[in-house]
Structure 1
Amino acid sequence: MDGTSRQIGTRVRYWRERRNLTRQRFADMVGRSTSWLDKIESGERELVRLPMIERVAEALGVDPAVLTDAAQAERAEQCVDAGEVQAIRTALAAYPGLAAWPAENVSTASIRRQAEYLDLAWLSSRFTVLARHLPGLMTEAQAAVLSVPRDERVGAYRVLVTTYRLASSMLLKFEANDVAWLAADRAMYTAMSVDDTWSLARATRSVARAMTSTRQEAQAISTLLDMADRMRRETETHAPELLSLYGMLYLAASITAAGQDDPVTAREMHEEAMVAALKFEPHYNTHHTFFGTTNTLIHRVSALVRLHQGGRALEFAETIDPSAVAALSAERQSNFLLDLTEAHTSVGNHRQAVRLLGQAEQVAPEEVRCRPLAHGLLRSLLHNTTGEPAKLVKQMADRAGVVA
């Protein structure tokens, strides 16, 4: 059995399964039998002719080099790709309520477990896991809200809001802003349909971030503050369920104001968030927000970076307990490290920037190897480092497929 054939076959199987394609369906797509596919995936048969490689790659939605080149295969496997973005777009375009036949009965408990699993994938910065499973869960949750008993209605709507929110948040990281906006808008529409404060607060953050991505910062801040005002009184009586979501609205407003170059509002919003955070334990994590004093403090660093105050951001970061940061999720830790990388780069401390970017890659590889933001930092450091730091940056850039 040829080693190259085995490797190509393994990649074909990987991408077929990642696309959620059965053996029969994929064999039909390429005009071959399942026995032929079995031999290709096991390496018993070579996939060497270019036309056939191209046909298989097209069916899988990947570049042919992803099947034949080890380096490109590794990079592609670790990142969300265009095919998965399209699958999310397709799921968002479904309107099951228009169907003439009743929606399939879906277990609320089942979709809730799936949503919790994907929430954990998000916190771990496992975006390929999210991208693979979100379309299917979205479809099931869309059906659930049409068929569940009345006493399970809010729970089903919360799962659907969660799927839309996760899709929007992930897509914004990869600058697929148009699809992210659609997902966020669906989250808000769904939340308003059930008039559930929990759902509305989560959807509002998604909509505000989507607004910010399209340079509608003022509208985003207004939307966040309207929601905070709406839920303030309810938060006082339902703090365990709502306070973390309430505080996160102010953190989002602070970051948005900083991006708008408004230091006064950014500071005011940070202070409002801190008031809420101080009422609870430092790592208060209701609803997977990791809201608390530490997350509020690292958001302040992020705001200062966006205000182009790299030196002040680094000074403020020195006041944050490293062990408290280490208790946060991989997603939060890595984004803090990316902010510190940007801050050190802005003040010309490139050696330290390289070290922190390397830490971010260790904590959450997909954040560094796949995100456009991290790619920009890599390009900057490729141009501004020499010696050992330059070697380390080049290695990270190679893993991310980034060239100077």
Structure 2
Amino acid sequence: MEESAGRIGARVRYWRERRKLPRQRFADMVGRSVSWLDKVESGERELARLPVIERVADALGIDPAVLTDDSRNQRARQCVDAGEVQAICSALASYPGLAPATSEEVDLIRIARQASYLDHAWGMSRFTVVAQNLPALMAEAYLATQTASAADLVNAHRILTTTYRLASSMLLKFESNDLAWLAADRAMYTAMSIDDAWSLARATRSVARAMTSIRRQPQAIVALVAMADRMRDEVRANPAELLALHGMLYLAASITAAGQEDVALAGEMHDSALATARQYKPHYNDHHTFFGVTNTQIHRVAALVRLHQHGRALEFANHISPRDVAALSAERQSNYQLDLTEAHTGVGDYRQAVRALGKAEQVAPEEVRCRPLAHGLLRSLLNNTTGEPARLVRQMAGRAGVEA
């Protein structure tokens, strides 16, 4: 009993701290004292009655089984959950500009580091890290744009653009598409307010992805190509900062065109991205894009998969160096493996599909165990595999909480 109380108490503390709830506030939420909470979290007092467990779980925004079941708790810890997605949505729903003006200064260096850290966490597919820290950063970044000096104004807007882009990307990853569109639109509005090519290029990619998610592919392609044309002169003048972002616009256009089954345009945009990649130099700043020939190649695989040309996608992938792929971010590597999973499934090679999905999980566990897209692939493989591949899929599905 003491061991059980200790486990549950530790989980209560973990989720309270993950939700960033002070002890007094959380105690008030469940109608208990701070002393009672301290005893629960230390394991001195057991949560034995189901109504109390349910009340505590409800305040934490989790299923009661997360507190009582080891496997449910482990799966919940490793994934972004509905409460964290809702926190991002709530941050988007606030309008700090309506509040009275403040003279409070924001440490721009500190929040720039935080934004860069979350950008890096995204690239590593550490989505829980992004989700837990992004809402507060969004509020601080907005305040920075209101209080920054003239010399710091562009940097402040770049940070805010980055936070909105991350919000949009997170919401798309977990299929909250309408709200992803709102976040991307905020990024675009922020970028346009200072007419900064760096911010505009990044915001345009987010807007295009959000448009694509709500089946507005033609408008997305128009926006991407227009931005690529608009920044061309600035790219020539400042390739070290802007060339990678310019190339990523073409990659986004290629994927979007493939999604609407425009074979010719997808190929044309890929060729434009590849021509840009061949100008790229290692010392250039890629802004966590990992832009270059290899990233362009794996985007081509993704485009061919979306065009349902699974055999061609696999043939193209055979010419991509695994060593070069391993130099990319975990997010890029894992999504490449998810594309290969779909391609192998499309040609009926389920053994190789399982291998690719296993590689994706190894590189970035959250991509496979937490994303709806990967869960769909797992269900498909659960229904189409036998023998050793089936055993491996069942193990992956168990870690993801997916049933056939």
Q: TM-score, normalization: structure 1?
A: 0.98
Q: For each residue in 1:67-122, what CA deviation from the matched residue of structure 2 results, as whole angstroms up to 9, or x when unmatched?
A: 11111111111111111111111111222222124253111111101001101100
Partner of 1:180: 180
Distance across 1 between alignment mates of 2:193 and 2:48? 54
Structure 2 letter corresponding to 1:366: E
Alpha carbons 2:243, 2:280 under 8 Å: kept: no
Partner of 1:12: 12
Structure 2 letter corresponding to 1:222: V
Range with bigger deviation, 212-221 or 1-10:
1-10
User: Closer, same or farther in 2 for the Cα pair 1:386/1:11, shift >3 Å?
Assistant: same
Distance across 2 between alignment mates of 1:304 and 1:397? 27
Q: For each residue in 1:147-168, what CA deviation from the matched residue of structure 2 results, as whole angstroms up to 9, or x when unmatched?
A: 1111111111100000000111
Q: Give yes or no for the alignment of 1:290 onto 2:290.
A: yes
Distance across 1 between alignment mates of 2:93 and 2:369? 30
Q: Give yes or no for the alignment of 1:399 onto 2:396.
A: no
Partner of 2:98: 98
Alpha carbons 1:283, 1:294 under 8 Å: kept: no
Range with bigger deviation, 67-76 or 131-140:
67-76
Q: How does 1:348-363 map to 2 (within 5 A)?
A: 348-363=348-363
Alpha carbons 2:111, 2:141 under 8 Å: kept: yes
Give the unaligned 5+ runs of structure 1.
none
Give the unaligned 5+ runs of structure 2.
none
Q: How does 1:147-162 map to 2 (within 5 A)?
A: 147-162=147-162
Percent identity between the two aligned chains: 72
Q: How does 1:23-102 map to 2 (within 5 A)?
A: 23-102=23-102
Partner of 2:250: 250
Q: Give yes or no for the alignment of 1:238 onto 2:238.
A: yes
Q: Give yes or no for the alignment of 1:208 onto 2:211.
A: no
Q: Give yes or no for the alignment of 1:131 onto 2:138.
A: no
Alpha carbons 2:121, 2:127 under 8 Å: kept: yes
SS in 2 for 1:351: helix
Structure 2 letter corresponding to 1:87: A
Distance across 1 between alignment mates of 2:258 and 2:332? 18
Q: For each residue in 1:269-303, what CA deviation from the matched residue of structure 2 results, as whole angstroms up to 9, or x when unmatched?
A: 00000111001247965111100000000000000
Q: For each residue in 1:317-374, what CA deviation from the matched residue of structure 2 results, as whole angstroms up to 9, or x when unmatched?
A: 0101110000001000000000001100000000111011011101000000111111
Q: For each residue in 1:147-203, what CA deviation from the matched residue of structure 2 results, as whole angstroms up to 9, or x when unmatched?
A: 111111111110000000011112111111122111101100111111111000000
SS in 2 for 1:343: helix
Range with bigger deviation, 278-287 or 225-234:
278-287
SS in 2 for 1:288: coil
Q: For each residue in 1:41-60, what CA deviation from the matched residue of structure 2 results, as whole angstroms up to 9, or x when unmatched?
A: 11111011111111111110
SS in 2 for 1:302: helix
SS in 1 for 2:165: helix
SS in 2 for 1:102: coil
Distance across 2 between alignment mates of 1:380 and 1:103? 56
Q: TM-score, normalization: structure 2?
A: 0.98
Alpha carbons 1:285, 1:291 under 8 Å: kept: no
User: Closer, same or farther in 2 for the Cα pair 1:76/1:329, shift >3 Å?
Assistant: same
**Aligned-CA RMSD value:** 1.2
Q: How does 1:291-370 map to 2 (within 5 A)?
A: 291-370=291-370
Distance across 2 between alignment mates of 1:231 and 1:79? 38
Alpha carbons 1:331, 1:364 under 8 Å: kept: yes
Q: Give yes or no for the alignment of 1:21 onto 2:11.
A: no
Distance across 2 between alignment mates of 1:114 and 1:304? 36
Q: For each residue in 1:246-276, what CA deviation from the matched residue of structure 2 results, as whole angstroms up to 9, or x when unmatched?
A: 0000000000000001110000000000111
Partner of 1:168: 168
Structure 2 letter corresponding to 1:377: L
Partner of 1:108: 108
Alpha carbons 1:283, 1:291 under 8 Å: kept: no
Range with bigger deviation, 212-221 or 14-23:
14-23
Q: Would you say how many aligned residue pairs link Structure 1 and Structure 2? A: 404
Distance across 2 between alignment mates of 1:154 and 1:384? 53
Distance across 1 between alignment mates of 2:149 and 2:282? 38
Q: For each residue in 1:179-230, what CA deviation from the matched residue of structure 2 results, as whole angstroms up to 9, or x when unmatched?
A: 2111101100111111111000000000000000000000000000010010
Alpha carbons 1:283, 1:327 under 8 Å: kept: no
Structure 2 letter corresponding to 1:226: A
Alpha carbons 1:284, 1:290 under 8 Å: kept: no
Partner of 1:371: 371
User: Closer, same or farther in 2 for the Cα pair 1:282/1:259, shift >3 Å?
Assistant: farther
Distance across 1 between alignment mates of 2:303 and 2:101? 50
